[in-house]
Amino acid sequence: MDKKMSGISKPDTDIPKLSGESKHTEALAIAPETVQLVWNYSKMSVTEIPDHWMDVSPVYKKMKARMLKGEKLLELGCGFGQNMRKLCVKGVAAEDLFGFYTDRILIEAGYDLFVDRSTQMTFFTGDIVAGTFEFERFHDKFNIVFASMFFHLFDWTEQVAIAKQVVNFLRKQPGSMIFGQQIGHIKPGLYQVGRESAGYAHNTATLQQMWDFVGSETKSTWHVQGIMEVNENIAALTQDDNTRCLRFWIRRLWK
């Protein structure tokens, strides 16, 4: 693997631990559920780090093949950027990979963790619900959006607003795709998971309903496919046996 292409500035075997207790404290304040990953990752090479949900998607191989041909990916809720860096190792060009997170602390921690501040990957932040003018430079830029364990943190209205941002980010052509997973529920509704306010947990039917509405608002058409899987980790997190892992892939049908 060409290190320049991968965006990784040092050999995989020479990735150090994150420096300083401050990084642990700052990351804990923003995303306590990810702090343990810092210490786990600091003991691994890039090739050993798990993809965390991306590679288990039913459409992952097709999406990776598209990226290897030069299509651009945006990851919503990218955290440390570990998924993007794994894609680099697998041959995807760094300049085709973009990551969004709500705060820069985990992004900065990712640079320290992977020792690659010179990477050609692009990271950005902002208010994904309200939108910011800075987002305009990313409109109509991406072929694929990946969102893992992200949408369920928001209620229905907020998810609609985020989905509209996604429509803006994706290219206005058939085949533009968003895929990922989120906490689902056999009885869709508001549930308190992962933050102070409740988020909306979908099944595949309500997810299609939401994207039908988004399509009507953005003059676009979207086809939702998905599967609801029993997942021990999600059940443990939610303490609710009716929760599921909702793996979804949503394709734009026409302009």
6 has pLDDT over 50: no
3-state secondary structure of 225: strand
Q: What is the pLDDT of residues 110-142, one digit of tens each?
A: 888 888 899 999 999 999 999 988 899 999 999
More confident residue, 220 or 55: 220
Q: Are 84 and 99 in contact (CB under 8 A)?
A: yes
The residue written with tokens 């991968």 in the block is 6
Burial of residue 218 (CB within 10 Å: 0-12, 13-18, 19+) is: middle
Q: What burial letters (b/e) apply to 1-10, b meaning 16+ CB within 10 Å? A: eeeeebbbbe
pTM of the model: 0.84
8 A C-beta contact, residue 71 and residue 98:
no
Say yes or no to pLDDT of 29 above 60. no
The pLDDT assigned to 232 comes to 87
Mean pLDDT of the chain: 84
- Which of 16-25, 46-55, 138-147, 238-247 is predicted least confidently? 16-25
Q: 175: helix, coil or strand?
A: coil
Confidence band for 18, pLDDT divided at 50, 70 and 90: very low
User: How confident is the model at residue 22, as a pLDDT?
Assistant: 47
Biggest distance spanned by C-alpha atoms of the chain: 50
